[in-house]
Structure 1
Amino acid sequence: IKRLRMRKRTGDRDSKKQKTARDEAGVSSSAQPRPSSRLLWWFKRGLLVVCVIYVSVPFMMRQFPDIIKHLVFSHRVRVPFFVNLSQPADLYLNHTVNMYLKSEQGISLGVWHTVPESQWKEAQGKDLEWYQDSLGAGIPIIIYLHGNGGTRAASHRVGVIHVLSAIGYHVLALDYRGFGDSTGEPTEVGLTTDTLYLYQWVKARSGSMTKRAPSGIVVDGVIIEGAYTNIRQGGAHHPFAWFYLKFPGFEYFFLDTMAENNVIFPNDENLKRMRSRLLILHAEDDHIVPIHMAQQLYEIAQSAQNSENQVKMIPFAGSLGYLHNGLYKDPHLPDIIREFVHTLAP
């Protein structure tokens, strides 16, 4: 009987020790945060930061309008990176010379002059004077004006230069002020000044006279690719705007801010005054500028010039996958451009 009682007492002590150990383990485990609760805490914190940034951006745009100018021009995004713009041969443009033109005081423009592909052998080792003299040979000259963001070395822009050169044209591609290796800061007026300066520079060396009309200079022909009607409508359809279309005061914070700071780019209004032949190229699957804007520009230009022969629009099927920058890949593009250039008055 004594042995049984001792065993019972010993068993009681053992069970108490086990219970105490379990209780202590429970306390220690509950004191440590679970991985799931820690993850949830970080998720909530991150979501709060995103919401604060989302709400802050419109007010920052309004308070600091220079931000929206940088977004529109995107000239600080100098892609591709690590490219020496003074060496176009690095991009297989080995019949191209790099030069710098002074459009106005303090503004230096980086420009590439690519001769027709048929002259690439002759162009090897030639200096700037030879390239300039070649402009007077009577061969068509294309002034290539790229869109916002990046430099003249962007892959799709180099692709366009190759296409035009292969057709047999001179191509002059510039980076506007503030873009690439050009100096200054971009403005809408400044970009126009740079373009007109290059046009007059080319005209002076090609031996042809500048045509003028009451509404301004009349160029031989204009080709626009993936163009919007105006920056207000273009901005409303830009992928960046998709995040804020439902934001209260979207027009006030973004679109009105652009207009109040002279960022307008009224292509629709300009076409009402233009009297040059016009070719509009646009991809149906353009994800930056919807094709309905190209259709609007076509109708405006056709109405202004009152002639079907003066204005032509060619859409590219969405199934081709060209999006906004891929039209240069189309095998029919050389023939389209060649046909348009042949219709221009000498």
Structure 2
Amino acid sequence: MSAERHCTKLSFLKKLLIRWFLCVIFVITTLIVLAPVLLRSHGNFILTKMFFQTWSRYYPWIDLTDPTAFKLNAVNVYEQVEPNVTIGIWYTLPSTVQIHHELPTLADHLQRYVVSKDLPIIMYLHGQDGTRATHYRSNHYRVMSSFGNHIIAMDYRGYGDSTGKPTVSGIVADVTHVFNVIRRVCPDNPIVIWGHSMGTGVSLWTAFHLFENKTLVKKPAGLVLEAPFYNLVEALISYPVTRVFKINPYFMKAALDSLAELKLEFPNNEIISFLPLPIIIIHSEDDAIIPYHHAQSLEKYIETNRESDLPPVRLITVPRSAHCGHNHIYSYSKFQEIIEMTDVEPTRQWPRPIRILTKLLVFLSIIYVLSSAISAIILIAYPSMIKHIVFMNFLKTGNDFTQPEMFGEDRVFNFYLDVEPEIRIGVWHYRSPLVRDQSYENDEDYFQKHIASTSSSIPMVIYLHGNAFDRSLFNRRGTCGKLRRELKYDVFMFDYRGFGDSTGSPTEEGLIQDARYVYDWLHNMTNGQRKIYLWGQSLGSAVACQLAARLSDDESKTLAGIVLEAAFINMHQAIRTHYLSLLFQWQPWFTSLTGKALLSTKLGFQTRGHLSSVNCPCVILHADDDYTVPYNHGQQLLQAGIAARDDHRQKRKLLHFTIDMISFHGEGYGHSTIFRAPNLIPALRRVLFEEHI
């Protein structure tokens, strides 16, 4: 028996590993397939974030003002380049120099420590990610300063604690500004600009602009290009991530088209061919980020296109056996010889892309295994954690909701309703174009003049939003604005308890109570004389459906109709079919643990079940490219509604219930932007809303 159990466990583990592997392959394949589409729609954003990785390897807990914490004999200073751009700088000195930290500016420090006009100064320009404090960079400064050099390293605008937004021209302006500061204090000292990775392109552009500026200021003494790229197009083609996505034959065209539109230009090969400076190129053979063939291509281009009377360009190759890669050339045993411009010429080899792909697959597999295990453990130990998936009210925009005009919204009034003693919800009222603006003294005066006394012929819409953020999101404002503008209705949008600036903690029953309170308040305020519609989006559709079902039991309360936008069957099905859940659906624990967690926390949101108790017209809106709540949810709700309608007619009950569905095919509206559809309101007028007021 023990042998059989052992075999069973091995079989289970084998199946589990196969599923994990298939999931990893699925994720990678999906990204590869969708990459051209994403680049076509968001290419500028993706490539900008990919090239200027201000978000990568920046750790807010690191104190950039204290370079001594990195065992550097250095001081931190700031330079204001433009009115809204200030850049952080580390000035690293040989360990024999005593630093006076009380000096306020870079110029003051240079005046104090640069005691000879022969003293070399190196400006270090880092790559596309991280900050001036990234560990291998601080090691670089320490090694170079140990040879007697003064090192000035900066974070471009947008990097580290430097302010501003990075652009090619902006970064070059930052470097030029610092160069001019050094030159004003040290007019004769040799300044070498040392660029690494992306910094090689920045250093070449900076040198180009310095020579183009016909002034008497002494130019740089030379350039050092560590791990340079041939040009930006070649860098994109050989980038590790790109090598994987190139499997898709449409990827490169989409990427290069987006790059052309973005106008990010680093023509390193062209600039290096005519700069009248001595230039050293250093490249490691095992560089997996910018492969060694970039240096070889630059060398060939220089041989063909650079004039023989210009200062020499030297290529120094770091052998693969040194294991320096892209970031650690400073650790090479002959680094001091490189500083002294000594040639090293070992055998050259090409890196193997398959190794990069293997490492990427291993990394993704580890991440997937860990996330799967952690998710299962959390759901077993703390099933209530699923509330933070259902109610993502912890996501805050941090906006001031009391001034809707700050969002470009005109004729919108913010007020609050006390649902319970400890529950106050925030509401926005979008005034109908047919409602005349009047002066008011307080909220009660506003309600009387703009709601209670408004013509009974103007209907009202209560908008119930989704499960994250608040009433200030652009798609929610867009929907409410469209309803007001095209229907000329009054529109009310509120944040459930715990969302936005509403107090309390969300529960399923709590959200329905909030919606019921808003409905009752409007019904009483208008003495039941004005029609009220409910419009629910995503999670809000489940709330709207439940509220409509409860109002059907109250003969004194009626609804003119409900709109269910991107509605789901129930919460369990919504979680199972969410695009992020595709990563875990293979897991044997996923369906059972999520179901038990939802049951224990009383979060059912059974839209399909409550739909059969609704007694008013209902319209379902769904886009076929909705990957958050897939289109088949809307189709199944329609079928359930048709079955309920036919049953009601047979039993002669709930005769006001009708069901319609408006679908959007291949129009790119997804989960949240159906409001952009030009035919939305005309289509709704035909099946639900009034033609004319």
The interval holding the TM-score normalised by the smaller chain is: 0.7 to 0.9
Who is 1:11 aligned against? none
Residue of structure 2 aligned with 1:63, choices 41, 46, 69: 41
Task: Name the Cα RMSD after superposition.
Answer: 2.9
**Matched-pair contact (CA < 8 Å) for 2:32–2:247:** no
Stretch of structure 1 that moved more, 263-272 or 52-61: 52-61
Query: Does residue 325 of structure 2 align to residue 323 of structure 1?
Result: yes
Who is 2:560 aligned against? none
Query: Does residue 99 of structure 2 align to residue 123 of structure 1?
Result: yes
Residue of structure 2 aligned with 1:104, choices 61, 82, 107: 82
**Matched-pair contact (CA < 8 Å) for 1:80–1:153:** no
**Matched-pair contact (CA < 8 Å) for 2:227–2:283:** yes
Q: Secondary structure at the match of 1:137?
A: coil
Who is 2:242 aligned against? 241
Q: Give, in whole Å, the separation in 1 of the partners of 2:288 and 2:278.
A: 27
- In the TM superposition, residue 201 of structure 1 has moved relative to its aligned partner by 1.2
Residue of structure 1 aligned with 2:32, choices 54, 60, 64: 54
Q: Give, in whole Å, the separation in 1 of the partners of 2:333 and 2:21.
A: 49
Task: Tell me: CA distance 1:318–1:66, structure 2 relative to 1, closer, same or farther (3 Å).
Answer: same
Query: Does residue 132 of structure 2 align to residue 152 of structure 1?
Result: yes
Q: Secondary structure at the match of 2:276?
A: coil
Q: Give, in whole Å, the separation in 2 of the partners of 1:267 and 1:35.
A: 55
**What TM-score results when the alignment is normalised by the length of structure 1?**
0.79
**Matched-pair contact (CA < 8 Å) for 2:225–2:281:** yes
Q: Give, in whole Å, the separation in 2 of the partners of 1:317 and 1:143.
A: 26
- In the TM superposition, residue 215 of structure 1 has moved relative to its aligned partner by 7.7
Task: Tell me: CA distance 1:160–1:247, structure 2 relative to 1, closer, same or farther (3 Å).
Answer: same
Question: Structure 1 counterpart of 2:87, which letter?
Answer: L
Task: Tell me: CA distance 1:47–1:146, structure 2 relative to 1, closer, same or farther (3 Å).
Answer: closer
Identity within the alignment, %: 28
Query: Does residue 266 of structure 2 align to residue 288 of structure 1?
Result: no
Q: Give, in whole Å, the separation in 1 of the partners of 2:315 and 2:309.
A: 13
**Matching of residues 217-232 of structure 1 within 5 Å:** 218-232=219-233
- In the TM superposition, residue 197 of structure 1 has moved relative to its aligned partner by 1.1
Question: Structure 1 counterpart of 2:50, which letter?
Answer: L
- In the TM superposition, residue 213 of structure 1 has moved relative to its aligned partner by 4.4
Q: Secondary structure at the match of 1:280?
A: strand
Q: Give, in whole Å, the separation in 2 of the partners of 1:106 and 1:234.
A: 31
Task: Tell me: CA distance 1:269–1:339, structure 2 relative to 1, closer, same or farther (3 Å).
Answer: closer
Query: Higher helix fraction: Structure 1 or Structure 2?
Result: 1
The superposition leaves residues 96-145 of structure 1 with CA deviations (integer Å, 9 ceiling, x where unpaired) of 111111122211101111122321xx225552465231246321110000
Query: Does residue 306 of structure 2 align to residue 304 of structure 1?
Result: yes
**Matching of residues 332-343 of structure 1 within 5 Å:** 332-339=334-341
Q: Give, in whole Å, the separation in 1 of the partners of 2:313 and 2:147.
A: 22
Who is 1:172 aligned against? 152
Question: Structure 2 counterpart of 1:123, which letter?
Answer: I
Q: Give, in whole Å, the separation in 2 of the partners of 1:43 and 1:283.
A: 33
Q: Give, in whole Å, the separation in 1 of the partners of 2:324 and 2:184.
A: 36
Q: Which runs of 5+ in 1 are unaligned?
A: 1-33, 341-346
Q: Secondary structure at the match of 2:146?
A: helix
Q: Secondary structure at the match of 1:109?
A: strand
The superposition leaves residues 71-112 of structure 1 with CA deviations (integer Å, 9 ceiling, x where unpaired) of 11111113356211011111011x211111112221110111
The superposition leaves residues 263-316 of structure 1 with CA deviations (integer Å, 9 ceiling, x where unpaired) of 221111211231111011110111111212112223434542415862111101
Query: Does residue 116 of structure 2 align to residue 137 of structure 1?
Result: yes
The superposition leaves residues 314-335 of structure 1 with CA deviations (integer Å, 9 ceiling, x where unpaired) of 1011111111111000122123
Residue of structure 1 aligned with 2:62, choices 83, 94, 97: 83
Who is 2:399 aligned against? none
**Matched-pair contact (CA < 8 Å) for 2:225–2:282:** yes
**Matched-pair contact (CA < 8 Å) for 1:97–1:128:** no
Stretch of structure 1 that moved more, 243-252 or 75-84: 75-84
Q: Which runs of 5+ in 2 are unaligned?
A: 1-10, 192-206, 343-693
Stretch of structure 1 that moved more, 226-235 or 253-262: 253-262
Query: Does residue 160 of structure 2 align to residue 184 of structure 1?
Result: no
Who is 2:668 aligned against? none
- In the TM superposition, residue 157 of structure 1 has moved relative to its aligned partner by 0.7
**What TM-score results when the alignment is normalised by the length of structure 2?**
0.41
Stretch of structure 1 that moved more, 284-293 or 143-152: 284-293
- In the TM superposition, residue 205 of structure 1 has moved relative to its aligned partner by 1.4
Residue of structure 2 aligned with 1:314, choices 310, 313, 316: 316
Task: Tell me: CA distance 1:142–1:55, structure 2 relative to 1, closer, same or farther (3 Å).
Answer: same
